[in-house]
Structure 1
Amino acid sequence: MNPIKKMLILITALSSLLILSGCSSLDIEPWVKPYERQNLADPIMRFGRHPIANMHVAHVLEARESARGAEGTGGGGCGCN
């Protein structure tokens, strides 16, 4: 085997070992603290705040896509429920 190829394999193995060992020693904490979660649960943080408008948009998208169930409801593209 070529000495350059051996050196390349050794460097690759050592660097991958270093990367994997570095990731395992991290102390991962949640980004959102428990006292900050009340701000994220605020109704203003929702994507759609008007339920009737959300239902209408979902209906329009289903009609445009010619398929039912695109929004997580039951049914398939055949039109059966």
Structure 2
Amino acid sequence: MFFLVFFAGSAAAESCLAPQPPFVPGDPQAAREYRDIIRSDFEVYIRDIEAYFRCLDDERARAFKEAREVSEAYGRFLKVIEP
């Protein structure tokens, strides 16, 4: 039972990947030349970082639930092996 709870929970774990920050060229002329692309990159980053934060929140909640279930399974296991 312990292994079922552990492995079932592990399979559900989500990978949260942080987005890469947008690149802004140091050259003001290049920044002006590519402003539309850079602006879009910032907007995509902001959208993606918000999704990343939601993913971290969801993963944290999932991990706490899994830890509680494993702890309960461990308690049941200890009761079974106690003399």
TM-score normalised by length of structure 1: 0.36
Higher relative contact order (CA 8 A, sep 6+): 2
Bigger fraction of residues in helix: 2
| Higher Rg | 1
TM-score normalised by length of structure 2: 0.35
